[in-house]
Amino acid sequence: MTSFSQTKVKEVNGIYTTVSTAKAKTPDVKTGKFFVDSKGKKYPVYLSVNDKLYYIRVSKKTGKAYRVYLKVE
């Protein structure tokens, strides 16, 4: 079983060229809310492009920033 999709093209002076449609990524957005961990440290909460909530935590050992996703009940 094979499936094909149609290629979008435009004509310029009798020559057809493909039209590429790049999706514009929107940056993650601060929600204005905060997450407070068990030690009392306050982190701003962000909303990702995929509608998931997270905050950014920095590792003490490596100094790298990590996203910690929140599960809302």
Mean pLDDT of 23-40: 86
Instruction: Give the C-alpha distances (Å, rounded to integers) separating 64 from 2, 18, 34, 52, 61.
Output: 45, 41, 21, 21, 8
Residue 22: band (very low, low, confident or very high) from pLDDT cuts 50, 70, 90: low
Return all residues near 62 (Cβ < 8 A) that are at least 6 apart. Answer: none
Residue 42 predicted with pLDDT over 70: yes
Residue 25 predicted with pLDDT over 70: no
Strand partners, 34: 44
Q: Could you tell me the pTM of the whole model?
A: 0.62
Predicted pLDDT at 14: 82
Residue 1: band (very low, low, confident or very high) from pLDDT cuts 50, 70, 90: low
